């Protein structure tokens, strides 16, 4: 009987300890995996957002610069043409007046 009881108690304790250790390890692994996945997802999302924002800002700046340059060139050309036409007309009028006189 003593031996039987000893064995029963031993087995019970063994099983209890086994279960405790199994549960501890399971929980540890679960937590590790959860944290890894969380970090991976966080990093992916961060990178996606960063890239999106970078692209948006790049496009905005590109468009701004394009518009500025377009406007500058337009104004330069307008002024050049205006001046050319003014000079032509002035010369024509001068010549006409000279000829009349």
* DSSP-assigned states of every residue in the chain: -HHHHHHHHHHHHHHHHHHHHHHHHHHHHHHHHHHHHHHHHHHHHHHHHHHHHHHHHHHHHHHHHHHHHHHHHHHHHHHHHHHHHHHHHHHHHHHHHHHH-
Q: Which domain, by its residues, includes 97?
A: 74-101
Q: How confident is the model at residue 2 (pLDDT cuts 50, 70, 90)?
A: confident
| 11 is a domain residue | no
- What is the tally of structural domains in the chain? 1
21 pLDDT more than 90:
yes
pLDDT given at position 4? 93
Q: Identify whether 45 is part of a domain.
A: no
* pLDDT, tens only, 32-74: 999 999 999 999 999 999 999 999 999 999 999 999 999 999 9
Is it the case that residue 101 has pLDDT exceeding 90? no
pTM: 0.56
């Amino acid at each position: 009987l003593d031996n039987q009881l000893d064995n029963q108690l031993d087995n019970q304790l063994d099983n209890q300890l086994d279960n405790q250790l199994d549960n501890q390890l399971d929980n540890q692994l679960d937590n590790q995996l959860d944290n890894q996945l969380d970090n991976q997802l966080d990093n992916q999302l961060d990178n996606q957002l960063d890239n999106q924002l970078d692209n948006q800002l790049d496009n905005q700046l590109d468009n701004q610069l394009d518009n500025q340059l377009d406007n500058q060139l337009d104004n330069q050309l307008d002024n050049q043409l205006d001046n050319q036409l003014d000079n032509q007309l002035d010369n024509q009028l001068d010549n006409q007046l000279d000829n009349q006189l």
